[in-house]
Structure 1
Amino acid sequence: MRRKDVETKLQVANNLLSKNANLDPLTGLPNRRFYDSFLKGKWQEVIESKASISLIIIDIDHFKTFNDDYGHQVGDEVLVVVGKTLAQCIRASTDLIARYGGEEFVAIVPNMSEHKTLQLAERMRQQISALEFKSKQITISLGSATVHPDQTSDLASLFKQADQALYDAKAQGRNRACHAKSDLGK
């Protein structure tokens, strides 16, 4: 009986450890480790189903200012609020919002057209732009890319395209969403 109790407690502890290894401790969102795994799995799914997949990279504009003006604790609060708001924008059953690192988040959105992906990114931008923190507006810049991958497609290219679109959004003045044109797959 005692051995069974120990095994049960060990299993519970292992399950908790596994769960925590995939979560960002600050925001409670999936972390980059989980994002990487999730994206690889979705990538294979959309190849097999001949569907599309979109990636949105989200960066909090002028985040350093929150830390400099109000301290890191307030910066952490901003990250939590932004993460929760972004999570409310996605389809919980198929999409993923994760904290990528620092003040960056990523969204994986399978089976969504370029147009709908850009609409989603714009909705995210508007939801965050409506937030105020310490009497200061929070804004984000977003870069997205949509592809229809096949067996010859390169997963890393999807991130590069979304990252370039994010760079474009920042270069155009921030607080905006830009979508990359796909040269991957169809």
Structure 2
Amino acid sequence: MEKILIVDDSYLQAAQLKSILEDEYEITIAQTGEEGLRLASTNNYSLILLDVIMPGMDGFELLKKLQEEIITQSVPVILITSLSDAQNEQYGLVLGAVDYITKPFNALVVKARVNTHIKLYNYRRQVEYQSRTDQLTGIPNRRQHDRYSRTKWSEAARLQVPFSVCMLDIDYFKVYNDTFGHPAGDKVIAAVAKTVSSFVKRSTDFLARYGGEEFVAFMVGDNSRKAYEHFKKIRQAVEDLHIPHAPSKSQWVTVSIGGATIIPKLESSYDFHLKVADAMLYDAKKLGRNRVVWVNENMEKLIER
């Protein structure tokens, strides 16, 4: 059931709205702007109904704050007002509101507008999800990586915690495609993605398909030794799938992994360290593939034999 947040200092008015909508939606009521901001930032709402006139933080001020927060800026907001003049309506729309509901409430109008904006919100979410998800594997794509990596890099720099980034590549993949065909190659890519995803699933972890048979992953908070050992397990897990490879190259499908761990500074570059990880991947392949090569915080190499 879709969730709606009503922010209104008048409990009577909020209760009226709830009675109109509660048959179709899960309703939460907040009676102050501060409480509304807290609830909106910690719950997944599909729509916010917001009263304009409230003591303390009014509806316009709360709307500004909602638009500033990454978590809430995409959630549609319908303003509740008895003010019918065009100036207030225009101001609310400029701030980011999607619509107005005027008091006293007309149940049919309220339902129609709420239903419309929730449908539009879900459609936008679906389009956004598809734009940032790799269709073959179901994991984030390169576009999502490029967007999300910089956010997490900045957080790690601000908190001064280790940030580990790695590149992962399926060994002899062109030979596999030439031997077994592209449909079989697609199945291998999907199987590798599923296996790696099972190890990279904390809120501080991230995995994306970077392109072709190549993946990129990062972890926040673990030191280099822990990250290195973790990706050794991932490499072994892929080999343990025992997917037959072209006998001339390898018995099983395997992966090579290159990575780097650093405590980032605000002025340092994520892209540079991604290139370092890519260089470690190149070393892993040059040393015979099916291994992990890592560089630690002191720029010392850790090499799986």
Q: Normalized against structure 1, the TM-score is what?
A: 0.92
Per-residue CA shift, 1:39-58, capped at 9, x if unaligned? 10111101110111000110
CA distance in structure 2 between the aligned counterparts of 1:91 and 1:73, rounded to whole angstroms: 27
Match of 2:128 in 1: 18
Moved more, 131-140 or 79-88: 131-140
Which amino acid counterpart does residue 26 of structure 1 have in structure 2? L
Distance 2:266 2:275 in 1: 18
In structure 2, the residue matched to 1:156 is: 271
What is the number of residues matched between the two proteins? Answer: 184
Q: Distance in 1 between matches of 2:227 and 2:202?
A: 15
> Which is richer in helix?
1
Q: Equivalent residue for 2:206?
A: 96
What is the aligned partner in structure 2 of residue 66 from structure 1?
176
Is the contact made by 2:204 and 2:221 (CA closer than 8 Å) also made in structure 1? no
SS state at 2:226 partner: helix
Per-residue deviation, 1:9: 2.3
Q: In structure 2, what is the equivalent of residue 52 of structure 1?
A: 162
> Are residue 105 (structure 1) and residue 221 (structure 2) matched?
no
Between 1:86-95 and 1:171-180, the stretch displaced more is 86-95
Once the 2 structures are TM-superposed, how far is the Cα of residue 90 of structure 1 from its aligned partner? 2.0
Distance verdict in 2 for CA 1:9–1:91, change over 3 Å:
closer
Gap change, CA 1:4 and 1:66, over 3 Å in 2? same
CA contact (8 A) 2:224 2:297 kept: no
Deviations 1:88-139 (A, max 9, x none): 1124221011111100011111111111111011111100011122575110
Paired residue type of 1:10 = L
Q: Distance in 2 between matches of 1:142 and 1:158?
A: 14
How far residue 179 of structure 1 moved from its aligned partner, in angstroms, is 0.6
- 1:140 maps to which residue? 255
Ranges in structure 2 where 5+ consecutive residues have no aligned partner: 1-108, 246-250, 300-305
Whole-Å separation in 2 of the counterparts to 1:182 and 1:172: 22
Aligned counterpart for 1:30 among listed residues 140, 160, 163:
140
Equivalence for 2:65 = none
RMSD over aligned CA atoms reads 1.7
Which range is displaced more, 135-144 or 106-115?
Answer: 135-144
Residue 195 (structure 2) pairs with residue 80 (structure 1): no
**Identity of paired residues, percent?**
36
What amino acid maps onto 2:145 in structure 1? Answer: Y
Query: Contact (CA 8 Å) 2:168, 2:281: kept in 1 or not?
Result: yes
> Which structure's CA Rg is the greater one?
2
Question: What SS does the corresponding residue of 2:166 show, helix, strand or coil?
Answer: strand
Which runs of at least 4 in structure 1 moved beyond 4 Å after TM superposition? 1-4, 181-184
Q: Residues 89 and 68 from structure 1, CA distance in 2 versus in 1: closer, same or farther, beyond 3 angstroms? A: same
Matched, 1:175 2:285: no
How far did residue 11 of structure 1 move? 1.8
After TM superposition, the score normalised by the length of structure 2 is 0.57
